């Protein structure tokens, strides 16, 4: 389906689509950060205890990274996704490969 949609697109259109894909990723990242705080709240309510500040920070750091990988990084670094990008625009693949580690 991606190949069919991209067939009528110029290289500039594909680059713009990748820009928009990254904008969506940034939007999702912000939501995942908020979700991590909801996860912390749910954990504390379920266990009936409040974590010390250092443990709260550790929880948020680890949970945020897990969410980032699960919902963003795993897709951005998937070989099939990267191969499709390579076919559409090799520079876009390189760009995503450079950005993906932030989400992994």
The pLDDT of residue 11 is: 86
pTM over 0.75, yes/no: yes
The pLDDT of residue 33 is: 93
List the one residue out of 79, 88, 100, 95 whose CA is nearest residue 13.
88
What are the boundaries of each domain within the chain? 26-103
Give the chain's residues under pLDDT 50.
Answer: none
Strand runs labelled E in 1-104: none
């Amino acid at each position: 389906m991606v190949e069919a949609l991209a067939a009528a697109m110029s290289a500039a259109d594909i680059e713009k689509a990748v820009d928009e894909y990254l904008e969506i990723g940034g939007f999702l990242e912000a939501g995942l950060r908020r979700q991590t705080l909801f996860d912390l709240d749910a954990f504390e309510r379920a266990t009936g205890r409040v974590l010390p500040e250092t443990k709260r920070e550790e929880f948020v750091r680890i949970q945020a990274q897990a969410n980032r990988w699960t919902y963003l990084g795993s897709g951005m670094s998937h070989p099939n996704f990267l191969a499709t990008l390579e076919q559409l625009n090799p520079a876009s693949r390189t760009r995503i490969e450079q950005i993906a580690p932030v989400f992994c």
